[in-house]
Amino acid sequence: MTTAAETRPYRSRSRLQHFMIQSAPLLLALIILAGMGVLYVVLFYRQLSRFPGNFEWTSVVNTSMPLVFAGVGQSIVVLTRGLDLSVGGMIDLANGLAATHMHSGAGSMLGWSLLVLLVGAAGGAINGVLVAYGRLQPILVTLATLSIYQGLAIKVLPEPGGAVPIEYTKILANPNGPTSLVFVGFIAVVWFVFRRTRLGVDVYAIGNDEEAARAHGVRVRTIKIAAYVLSGMFAAAAGLFLAATTTSGDATSGDVFVLTSIAAVVLGGISFFGGRGNAVGTVAGAFVLTLLINVLFFANIDPLYQSFFQGLFLIVAVLLGTLIRRLVGLRG
């Protein structure tokens, strides 16, 4: 039903070019993941003269899962131009609660899982209210609540110990196969839906320009609180996965996630200025960080120097990202 007078829609670049430019950070994260995977396989083969098998891949997947969840939660907050340092304390707390209270039996496992997620939501709500209504800097608020949640975790589980039911480990961190990848698929679906909800649009809008978002009727404070609540819940889920993987509890084992969750977000190509990025990139970033530890191990690097090389890698990866973005002509 086109008439002769009708002009074709204007396109300044091809659809593919637009896609490449706008998805460059995500694509880069996936490329780094692929590269790291190849490096891992090569180094593994050089050391052991065989390829990594089911056991090794399962181990990589299971060790990555807590970071995957913590990173996705962190992503949502970073997209609003915030930061959640309290994920570490929340993982400690969730881990401690699971290790001390959960018993075998579907009821206990399900009940305590939901309860722990609720604790995560409540902790996130405290962060969110302080940030949104208290107008405090996210880094200050969550630095304080990090300590508070760590303290609560120590109260719940004063010294390492406790146990989670073996069935729970089988469900969340099955040692016999990488079935936890189901949860990665789950996150991808959740993210796909999230981006297509009003909440998702509002989160990105706030990160783009908070004032403009307000002028468009976004309820900025409510959405910020929602972002921190989601981050708290994802951190709690990370704590549950951590408990399942280690089969016991340690109220300090979550602390490392403060920095690694941020590193995963960075590697995933999410902008710290908010409003740009994709949590699927963060998932890739989480796997990259786990693989990196394995790569360093098989490269015979003294574990003492591990964090040195982790830092070096992070800087190189971020520089590479900036370089590529400049090459494809994306500013910022």
| Per-residue binder mask for other proteins (CB under 8 A), 243-272, x = binder | ----------------------------x-
Angle between helices 106-132 and 220-246 (to 10 degrees): 140
CB nearer other proteins, residue 12 or residue 176: 12
Our finding on whether 322 is near other proteins (CB under 8 A) is no
Stretch that binds other proteins, among 127-135, 179-187, 213-221, 231-239 (CB under 8 A): 213-221
Supply angle C-alpha 172, 264, 228, rounded to 5.
75
Our finding on whether 216 is near other proteins (CB under 8 A) is yes
Nearest CA among 85, 151, 156, 178 for reference residue 124:
85
Choose, by CB under 8 A, the member of 209, 259, 325, 328 that binds other proteins.
209
- Write out the binding residues for other proteins, residues 275-314 only, by CB under 8 A: 275-276
Our finding on whether 101 is near other proteins (CB under 8 A) is no
Q: How far is the CB of 73 from other proteins (least distance, A)?
A: 21
- Write out the binding residues for other proteins, residues 15-74 only, by CB under 8 A: 15, 18, 22
CA-based max dimension of the chain: 78
Cα separation, 24 vs 174, in Å, equals 34
Stretch that binds other proteins, among 41-49, 168-176, 200-208, 235-243 (CB under 8 A): 200-208
Q: Where are the beta strands (DSSP E) in 209-266?
A: none
CB nearer other proteins, residue 53 or residue 217: 217
Our finding on whether 5 is near other proteins (CB under 8 A) is no
Beta bridge partners of 249: 161
Choose, by CB under 8 A, the member of 2, 3, 7, 176 that binds other proteins.
7
The tokens of 270 are what? 């999410």
Q: What single string gives the DSSP state of each residue in 149-216?
A: HHHHHHHH-SSSB----HHHHHHHS-TTS-TTHHHHHHHHHHHHHHTTSHHHHHHHHHHH-HHHHHHT
Size of the site for other proteins (CB under 8 A): 36
Does residue 128 sit in helix, strand or coil?
A: helix
Choose, by CB under 8 A, the member of 3, 4, 6, 300 that binds other proteins.
6
Our finding on whether 215 is near other proteins (CB under 8 A) is yes
Angle between helices 87-101 and 257-267 (to 10 degrees): 120
Stretch that binds other proteins, among 37-45, 109-117, 183-191, 204-212 (CB under 8 A): 204-212
Cα separation, 236 vs 97, in Å, equals 10
Name the residues that contact other proteins, by CB under 8 A.
Answer: 6-7, 9-13, 15, 18, 22, 193, 195-198, 201-202, 204-205, 207-209, 211-219, 271, 275-276, 331-332
